[in-house]
Amino acid sequence: MSFLAILCALLIEQARPLAHGNPVHAALRAWTRWSNGNFDTGRPAHGWLAWGLAVGAPALLATAAHWVLALWLGWPLAVLWNIVVLYFALGFRQFSHHFTGLRDAVEEGDEARARELLARWQQVEVAALPRSEILRHIIEYSVLAAHRHVFGVLAWYSVLAAVGLGPAGAVVYRMGEFVSRYWRYKDRIGQQPASPALQDAARSAWHAIDWLPARATAIAFAAVGSFEEAIDCWRNHAQRFPDDNDGVVLAATSGAVNVRLGGEALRSAFRPDASQGFQSAAPAGGKPAAAGTPGREPEPAHLRSIVGLVWRTVVLWMLLLALLTLARLLG
């Protein structure tokens, strides 16, 4: 069932991308604001309560609907519900248009346009950066977006689908990332204060939620890229990045495609309108790494390598799920 649901959700999302400002995401943003406004008193216990409501209630609703449909109306409707949940949780097309525009500008030699598009996407100051750093920004932000929008969701959905909790896995992962970023963003611009206790709870929870998917993504990148170099870079250079989980993904990416990552490309950044959607942003609160990973300086050819790496990883995920599904049916 999980294989069919993921396959259908990916195909539908490619054919009909989720509209920006759709009512489902708008409702979840409103719920997140309500949880913050009503339960954040500045105490750690209340911070965890607000986080639990913001993330746990949608996950519980998604899981309850799954089991009601499965037990009362039949598994076909439960599969359909899983497709709907994954459609709103997955999001290739929620970030790929940014990457496509940047790649086209780079390949056309329009560096000014590439700088403008990158600054608009991630709200980073890029005017003074050399060309190699522009390419490094594009690679790192795009890889992290692919991880958070696709592979992290697939990881938790697939793991929990084995015990009938697939929708909960997808929702907890996406909401865990979203509330951590959203509360920090709202507090930063002064629209809705979020206490340090609430932000610490959201940040700690997100780190725990992303721990397993980050390493699954790193292993998958190593499997479809240059394996030995990816594993070596993961083991020896992941600590050079501001965030442990992001560092694992980016270090494996660096080794998999032989590109030097790190340095200035991980400065804290948010789009002004990031709160209007579930688009992942760069990690916040960390200092840029002092030195990057080994590898070649970023070149336009590396952008094509990243596209190939991401799609090969998607194919690997689908093959593994298909084999597991087949083994379960035959067993």
> What was the pLDDT predicted at 265?
44
CA atoms of 282 and 142, how far apart (whole Å): 10
CA atoms of 67 and 80, how far apart (whole Å): 12
Split at pLDDT 50, 70, 90, the class of 11 is: very high
CA atoms of 31 and 165, how far apart (whole Å): 22
pLDDT in tens, 290-306: 467 888 888 888 999 99
Q: Is 243 helix (H, G, I), strand (E, B) or coil?
A: coil
**Which token pair is 126?**
């890029």
- Kindly state the DSSP code that residue 71 receives in the 8-state scheme: I
Split at pLDDT 50, 70, 90, the class of 281 is: low
Q: Average pLDDT of the chain?
A: 86
The residue among 220, 324, 319, 322 whose CA lies nearest residue 4 is: 322
275 beta partners:
none
> What was the pLDDT predicted at 287?
40
- Domain membership of residue 218 as a residue range: 2-330
pTM over 0.85: yes
Amino acid at 71: L
Q: Is 232 exposed, middle or buried (0-12, 13-18, 19+ CB in 10 A)?
A: middle
CA atoms of 299 and 229, how far apart (whole Å): 19
Q: Helices 131-146 and 244-257 meet at what angle, rounded to 10?
A: 110
Residue 277 falls in which region: left (phi positive, over 0), alpha (psi -120 to 50) or beta: beta
CA atoms of 63 and 172, how far apart (whole Å): 11
The 10 Å Cβ neighbour count of residue 318 is: 15
Q: Is 318 helix (H, G, I), strand (E, B) or coil?
A: helix
> What was the pLDDT predicted at 255?
95
Split at pLDDT 50, 70, 90, the class of 277 is: low
**Which token pair is 50?**
């607000």
User: Quick check: 268 pLDDT over 70?
Assistant: no
Q: Which residue has the higher pLDDT, 129 or 25?
A: 25
> What was the pLDDT predicted at 124?
67
Domain count, the chain: 1
Q: Is 289 helix (H, G, I), strand (E, B) or coil?
A: coil
User: Quick check: 280 pLDDT over 60?
Assistant: no
